[in-house]
Chains A and B, each alone.
Chain A
Amino acid sequence: MNTTWLAILGTAAGCYGLKLLGLSVPSGLLDRPVVRRFAALAPVALLAALTALQTFGQGAHGLAVDARAAGLAAAGVAVWRRAPFLVVVVVAVLVTALVRAVA
């Protein structure tokens, strides 16, 4: 079994455990204002970081502004116009492909 499978199974076990934990523990145990506030903001920080990293990241330690940035800017416009989820993704993919084809 290679490391990719280990990561997949580890994520699966952890994510399932988190879902079951919430469903099983008596509320009040996790439900403190500070914990809830952190849990509400943590995905925001992570999603913003992931968006930035996968748009500008190049290899393990590099950053680059390339066709992906154009695609993401287009996705940003689609999001701003409240386009459906899949439309946002398709717009980003098409604009990125277009910029690569022209460049």
Chain B
Amino acid sequence: MSRMTALSDPPAPATAPPAAPLPAAGARSDRAVIRDSLGVGVAVGVSGIAFGIAGTTAHLTVWQTCALSLLVFTGASQFALIGALAAGAAPFAAVIGALFLGVRNAFYGLRLGERLELPRWLRPVAAQTVIDETAAVALVQPDRRSTRLGFFVTGASLYLIWNATTLAGALGADALGDPSRYGLDVAGPAVFLALLAPRLREGGAERATALLGAVLALASVPLVPAGVPVLIALAAVPAVLLLGSRRDRERARTTAGPQKDLPKDLPKEGGR
């Protein structure tokens, strides 16, 4: 943690940010980047309390719950693992499901690696904070300096707050006794739904994948061991991709056919 802040510390006080942002300037003021980063770090970080509570609800010890936030540090995988373990999944199946959710971080890493241009020795430290939120903040910055600043400030603040609130949530729920009595067992699925929602707004392929995935998972519950239905849901992805590419081909064929639709459709589709 101290090594990570060491990188962003020296440049920070060097230049005083201009009082009014210059409209044409490509570089953003450090203060604006830090403000955005802390905003995300704090807002998402406090959700660690939901994970702490969910950990206790899933009958993990406080130590185990905190170890997940410290070591795994990617919310969806953490929730997926404890959910699967609570449902009685074999540890191996539970881990595989959690890892599939973590694959997207590798793709954030690809994008971030290009933009951050970190020295080799720093990569193993920076890797732990390659997640949704740091990618979201860092990848929209206009230059390398603000990309680095956004990445490290978001990552450091989120790591600290997420872990602190995980501990608070786990201890709090532990003191409450049976958390399912208070409805805390829906914290997990509510989190998944909140993570899913922005993806559903992206398009029809996302909605079809979500629907098919949920149906496949529920249908396989009586048939396969716990933890496996989540993996079966992954079959929705190639199914939707195959259907999508077939429909694209058919559309290409039909738009080439009837001549009267051409003038209306072509410029629109070409523009995208």
Contact = CB atoms under 8 A, between A and B. Distances in A.
A52 B184 CA distance: 16
A47 B225 CA distance: 19
A31 B189 CA distance: 31
Nearest to B93: A7
B161 interface: no
Q: How extensive is the interface on chain A, given as a class?
A: 35 or more
B112 to A, nearest CB: 7
Nearest to A76: B193
A51 to B, nearest CB: 4
Interface stretch (B138-146, B212-220, B254-262): B212-220
Interface in B1-38: none
A96 B124 CA distance: 42
Majority secondary structure of chain A interface residues (helix, strand, loop or mixed): helix
B47 A85 contact: yes
A99 B221 CA distance: 25
Contact of A85 (B95, B194, B211): B194
A9 B238 CA distance: 30
B178 to A, nearest CB: 11
Interface string A55-66: 111011111000
B104 interface: yes
A72 B193 contact: yes
A53 B229 contact: yes
B187 A89 contact: yes
Contacts of A9: 71
A11 B64 CA distance: 12
B103 interface: yes
Given A50-B230, A54-B188, A96-B185, A11 B68 contact: yes
6 contacts: A22-B110, A39-B103, A50-B189, A54-B83, A92-B187, A97-B183
Top 5 A-B pairs, shortest CB-CB distance: A22-B109, A96-B183, A97-B183, A45-B213, A49-B233
Interface of A: 3-12, 14-16, 18-25, 27, 30-31, 34, 36-57, 59-63, 67-68, 71-72, 75-76, 79-80, 84-86, 88-89, 91-100
